[in-house]
């Protein structure tokens, strides 16, 4: 298995042939773990295993070999999802006590609304969206619920609060869960100045009890696109692109006039560029997704040639799992350029340069100059 | 073919090339490392382990590599990499062998959820498994090594693999980790025991590993059902004492010693409950190793209160038993 896009193709296309060589499966599993896609690989592969007698380990002793790895991955996903659901309920209760809505973003929204990307997904932090004016009261409400800002580094606090679209992560003192409180979906200093109030105005309740809210479908897709496109680290880039494909396939069935609404909203929010790249790479790696009738609208959001080609080439490399089996010489450089670019998009040069210098220094000397890095004592 | 049958420098060649593939218990490992200490340790401690033919699925591929950049020569390091990324902070190159053992433990305990994995030593006698969960410093490994050299079959020293499908414990048969004073204690207890070179100054102090007896490796595919759960505690100068322990409390303590009880969720709780229900549960305190081994012989023989040898204390319920010389 030498094609570095093989994992993406197997997960994002229907009817692709699964490999039969054990070595190929080892590599798929390893790349999937690295891209945080092992749960998704498990669901897709276990569904296909019945038709694939060549799957290694299937004839071995119980609990050994590839099927055991796939089932293990699913168990972990179930545990993480269950924890996430509980934590989201606690979060919603804490917000409700202070009279705030719990508008979930990304993973937490997919899970609580039972949307297709939630299947086999690993969840990390809970992201919520609140009005910018409500940031302070929401932070107090969450502090009362046990979520506090653990990193009291003055620089970090100011960096987030002054320039970012979210406040520093809040971590629960007992349970360790982390909440990212956003007031919009892209940094206000960036090229994408999205008014969070517009997103909140269109948000929908997930269920009738109003415990959870989510962005309206087209906004959810655009958030996923902007996240993928403006991110600096691509460890879960492929996962984000699969999320996006799932959302598109789901909403084009459940929402009337989905595609025209999506393009219109992208224009209105100034997010046509991220949407173009997201669609381009989803179609390149997976399958055609924009219906024939809407391809003219898709072509209309194509950016100018030079930045488009540069960005496409970089993303081709960066969307691959960050795994030695996928690296082709320039991959490391592409990741670095995209990392710089994500910061470039985020803020003007006068802010950016000092920030990057400081980050690089702290990475080299995390505890100051004199204390050596400590080893984590393994068991 | 077994690792010890590899000719000449074939072991080094494989470790530096596509990897050495060997099986330990139910798991296939592919090991790659250019560090001589890794090859040396494997040659000494894994000689009886079966190698895996090309073309079979391997569970875990891990690398123990040189440090990057200047750390190749200056204060040389050993780095564990899995899935193409570093997992632990690098350790000094001299710690490469214990790092390999810890790395293998990490691979199993973070991925193999077809087992409920307990931090415990497991031995077998007469078809029944003896499970000894214990925090570090309790003398668990010392006792485990001594029992493995005294008629008990070693299943595992560090990770008890309880199968989710049938509740039986599966052997892992990896070397027994010994720390600090216990290294010399075992050398004194059994001069014939094969013990690796000692690595000084690790996070756990001085560590060495004892080779698993060949006869035990030969029975690596024989699982056993838990018959005894014993919590050992070494206490200098203490007399040997075996005391019954409440089952509910044993269950809670076992859960505390489980790596992946959260992943197993409700099923994991029921597994532990079944395990405790079918087993004798004890606390065990010791300072004298031969005496400790003798009391486990009595436990296995079912002679907990034979005249003269094990006598009941003043405990009215006869729940506490002491070994009398």
Strand partners, A204: A214
pLDDT band at B313 (very low <50, low <70, confident <90, very high): very low
Residue B88 and residue B94 in contact, taking contact as beta carbons nearer than 8 Å: no
Q: Which pLDDT belongs to residue B314? A: 39
Partner residue opposite B84 with nearest CB, options A57, A76, A323: A323
Judge whether A176 is closer than 8 Å to chain B, CB to CB.
Answer: no
- Predicted pLDDT of residue A155: 74
Q: Quote the minimal CA–CA distance from A175 to chain B in Å.
A: 14
Interval B194-218 mean pLDDT: 95
pLDDT tens readout for residues A254-269 = 999 999 999 999 999 9
What is residue A367's predicted lDDT score, i.e. its pLDDT? 58
Which has more confidence, A375 or B213? Answer: B213
Mean pLDDT of A57-84: 80
**Residues of A whose CB is below 8 A from B89:** 373-376
Average pLDDT, chain B: 90
Weakest-pLDDT range from A1-10, A174-183, A336-345, B289-298: A336-345
Q: How confident is the model at residue A368 (pLDDT cuts 50, 70, 90)?
A: low
Quick one: pLDDT at residue A328? 67
Residue A227 confidence (pLDDT): 86
Q: Residue A52: what pLDDT?
A: 52
Task: Give the lowest-confidence range in A94-98, B53-57, B263-267, B292-296.
Answer: B53-57
On whether any CB of chain B is under 8 Å from the CB of A82, the answer is yes
Verify whether the Cβ–Cβ distance B105 to A378 is below 8 Å.
yes
Would you state the pLDDT for residue A377?
41
pLDDT at B324: 42
Confidence at residue A191, expressed as pLDDT on a 0 to 100 scale: 78
- The secondary element (H helix, E strand) that includes residue B82 is strand B77-82
pLDDT(A378) > 60: no
**Is the CB of B105 less than 8 angstroms away from the CB of A61?**
no
For residue A70, give how far its alpha carbon lies from the nearest alpha carbon of chain B (Å): 10
Predicted confidence band of residue A370 (pLDDT cuts 50, 70, 90)? very low
State mean pLDDT over A141-168.
83
Kindly indicate the confidence band of residue A15, based on its pLDDT and cuts at 50, 70 and 90.
confident
For chain A, give the mean pLDDT.
Answer: 85
The per-residue pLDDT for A366 is: 65
pLDDT band at A198 (very low <50, low <70, confident <90, very high): very high
Task: Compute the nearest-CA separation of A302 from chain B (Å).
Answer: 36
How many Å lie between the alpha carbon of A78 and the closest alpha carbon of chain B? 8
What is the band of A233 on the pLDDT scale with cuts at 50, 70, 90?
A: low
Element (H, E) at A87: helix A66-97
Contact (CB<8Å) A72/B111: yes
- Contact list, A68 vs chain B (CB under 8 Å): 112, 114
A309 or A51: whose pLDDT is higher? A309
Q: Which pLDDT band, with edges at 50, 70 and 90, does A376 fall under?
A: very low
Asked if A348 has any chain B CB less than 8 Å from its own CB, the reply is no
Q: Between A62, A78, A376, which is nearest B88 by CB?
A: A376
Give me the pLDDT at residue A373, please.
41
**Helix, strand, or coil here: A195?**
coil
Structure confidence at residue B51 (pLDDT): 95
pLDDT at A58 over 60: no
pLDDT above 80 (res A4): yes
Distance CA B111, CA A65 (A): 12
pLDDT on residue B303: 58
Q: What is the fold of B118-323?
A: Phosphoenolpyruvate Carboxykinase; domain 3 (3.90.228)
User: Among all residues of chain B, which has the CA nearest to that of A29?
Assistant: B83
Does B265 sit within 8 Å of A82, measured CB to CB? yes
pLDDT the model gives residue B152: 97
pLDDT per position as a tens digit, A170-180: 999 999 999 99
> Which of B26, B111, B204 shows the shortest C-beta gap to A63?
B26
- In tens, the pLDDT along A217-229 reads 999 999 999 988 7
**Does residue A31 lie within any of the structural domains?**
yes
State the pLDDT at residue A166: 85
Q: Does B103 touch chain A (CB under 8 A)?
A: yes
Min distance A68 CA to chain B CA atoms (Å): 6
Is A378 part of the contact surface with chain B (CB cutoff 8 Å)? yes
- What's the maximum distance between 2 C-alpha atoms anywhere in chain B? 68
Number of domains in chain A: 1
- How many whole angstroms separate alpha carbon A228 and alpha carbon A26? 27
Q: Residue A347: which pLDDT band, with cuts at 50, 70 and 90?
A: low
Q: Which of B58, B89, B109 sits opposite A373 (nearest CB)?
A: B89
Q: Supply the range of the domain harboring residue A154.
A: 6-363
The model carries a pTM of 0.87
Band (pLDDT 50/70/90 cuts) for residue B281 is very high
A117 pLDDT higher than 70: yes
HEC secondary structure over chain A: CCCCCHHHHHHHCCCCCCCCCHHHHHHHHHHHHHCCCHHHHHHHHHHHHCCCCCCCCCCCCCCCCHHHHHHHHHHHHHHHHHHHHHHHHHHHHHHHHCCCCCEEEHHHHHHHCCCHHHCCCCCCCEEEECCHHHHHHHHHHHHHCCEEECCCCHHHHHHHHHHCCECCCEEECCCCCEEEEECCCCCCCCCCCCCHHHHHHCCEECCCCCCCEECCHHHHHHHHHHHHHHCCCCCCHHHHHHHHHHHHHHHHHHCCCHHHHHHHHHHHHCCHHHHHHHHHHHHHHCCCCCCHHHHHHHHHCCCCHHHHHHHHHHHHHHCCCCCHHHCCCCHHHHHHHHHHHHHHHHCCHHHHHHHHHHHHHHHHCECECCCCCCCCCCC
ipTM value, please give it.
0.88
Verify whether the Cβ–Cβ distance B88 to A22 is below 8 Å.
no
Q: With cut-offs at 50, 70 and 90, classify the pLDDT of residue A41.
A: very high
In whole angstroms, what is the distance from residue A97 CA to residue A27 CA?
48
Give me the residue spans of the domains in chain B: 3-111, 118-323
Across the range B204-216, mean pLDDT stands at 96
Q: What is the pLDDT of residues A302-325, one digit of tens each?
A: 887 777 787 777 778 778 887 877
Shortest Cα distance, chain A CAs vs residue B155, angstroms: 17
How do residues B139-175 score in pLDDT, each as one tens digit? 899 999 999 999 999 999 999 999 998 899 999 999 9
Can you give the pLDDT at residue A118? 97
Percent of chain A at pLDDT > 90 equals 56
Closest by Cβ to A25, choosing from B57, B262, B263: B57
Instruction: Say how many CB pairs under 8 Å bridge A and B.
Output: 89
pLDDT tens per residue, range A262-303: 999 999 999 999 999 999 999 999 999 999 999 999 999 988
pLDDT (mean) for B242-259: 94
Contact B52, B22 (CB under 8 A): yes
Contact between A30 and A326 under an 8 Å Cβ cutoff? The reply is no
Q: What is the mean pLDDT of residues A190-198?
A: 88
| pLDDT given at position B71 | 76
């Amino acid at each position: 298995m030498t094609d570095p896009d093989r994992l993406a193709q197997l997960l994002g296309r229907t009817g692709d042939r699964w490999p039969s060589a054990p070595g190929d499966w080892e590599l798929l599993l390893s790349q999937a773990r690295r891209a945080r896609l092992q749960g998704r690989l498990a669901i897709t592969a276990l569904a296909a295993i019945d038709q694939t007698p060549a799957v290694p380990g299937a004839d071995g002793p119980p609990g050994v070999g590839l099927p055991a790895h796939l089932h293990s991955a699913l168990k972990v996903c179930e545990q993480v999802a269950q924890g996430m659901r509980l934590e989201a309920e606690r979060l919603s209760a804490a917000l409700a006590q202070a009279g705030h809505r719990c508008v979930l973003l990304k993973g937490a929204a997919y899970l609580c609304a039972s949307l297709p990307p939630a299947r086999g997904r690993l969840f990390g932090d809970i992201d919520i969206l609140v009005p910018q004016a409500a940031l302070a009261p929401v932070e107090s409400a969450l502090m009362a619920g046990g979520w506090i800002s653990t990193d009291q580094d003055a620089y970090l606090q100011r960096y987030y609060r002054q320039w970012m679209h979210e406040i520093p992560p809040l971590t629960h003192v007992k349970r360790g869960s982390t909440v990212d409180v956003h007031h919009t979906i892209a940094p206000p200093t960036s090229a994408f100045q999205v008014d969070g109030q517009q997103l909140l105005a269109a948000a929908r309740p997930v269920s009738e009890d109003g415990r959870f809210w989510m962005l309206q479908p087209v906004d959810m897709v655009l958030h996923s696109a902007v996240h993928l496109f403006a991110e600096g680290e691509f460890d879960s880039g492929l996962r984000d692109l699969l999320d996006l494909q799932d959302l598109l396939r789901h909403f084009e069935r459940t929402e009337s006039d989905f595609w025209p609404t999506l393009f219109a909203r992208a224009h209105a929010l100034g997010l046509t560029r991220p949407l173009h790249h997201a669609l381009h790479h989803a179609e390149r790696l997976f399958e055609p997704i924009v219906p024939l009738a809407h391809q003219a609208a898709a072509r209309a959001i194509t950016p100018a040639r030079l930045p488009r080609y540069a960005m496409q080439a970089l993303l081709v490399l960066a969307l691959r799992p960050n795994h030695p089996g996928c690296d082709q010489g320039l991959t490391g450089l592409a990741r670095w350029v995209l990392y710089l670019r994500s910061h470039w998009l985020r803020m003007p040069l006068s802010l950016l340069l000092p920030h990057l210098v400081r980050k690089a220094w702290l990475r080299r000397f995390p505890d100051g100059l004199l204390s050596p890095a400590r080893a984590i004592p393994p068991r | 073919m077994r690792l010890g049958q590899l000719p000449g420098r074939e072991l080094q060649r494989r470790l530096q090339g596509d990897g050495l593939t060997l099986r330990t218990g139910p798991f296939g490992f592919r090991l790659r490392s250019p560090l001589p200490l890794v090859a040396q340790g494997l040659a000494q401690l894994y000689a009886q382990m079966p190698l895996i033919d090309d073309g079979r699925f391997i569970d875990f591929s891990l690398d123990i590599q040189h440090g990057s950049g200047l750390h190749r020569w200056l204060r040389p390091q050993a780095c564990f990499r899995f899935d193409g990324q570093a997992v632990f902070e690098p350790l000094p190159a001299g710690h490469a062998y214990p790092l390999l053992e810890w790395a293998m433990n990490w691979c199993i305990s973070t991925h193999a959820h077809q087992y409920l994995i307990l931090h415990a030593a497991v031995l077998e006698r007469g078809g029944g498994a003896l499970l000894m969960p214990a925090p570090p410093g309790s003398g668990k490994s010392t006792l485990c090594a001594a029992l493995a050299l005294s008629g008990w079959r070693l299943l595992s020293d560090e990770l008890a693999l309880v199968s989710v499908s049938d509740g039986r414990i599966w052997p892992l048969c990896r070397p027994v980790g010994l720390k600090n004073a216990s290294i010399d204690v075992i050398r004194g207890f059994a001069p014939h025991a094969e013990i690796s070179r000692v690595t000084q100054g690790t996070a756990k102090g001085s560590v060495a590993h004892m080779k698993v007896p060949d006869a035990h490796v030969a029975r690596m595919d024989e699982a056993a059902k838990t018959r005894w759960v014993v919590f050992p505690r070494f206490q200098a100068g203490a007399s040997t004492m075996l005391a019954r322990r409440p089952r509910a409390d044993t269950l809670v303590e076992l859960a505390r010693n489980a790596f992946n009880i959260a992943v197993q969720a409700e099923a994991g709780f029921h597994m532990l409950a079944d395990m405790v229900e079918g087993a004798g549960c004890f606390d065990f305190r010791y300072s004298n190793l031969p005496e400790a081994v003798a009391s486990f012989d009595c436990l296995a023989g079912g002679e907990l209160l034979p005249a003269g040898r094990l006598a009941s204390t003043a405990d009215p319920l006869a729940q506490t038993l002491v070994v009398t010389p």
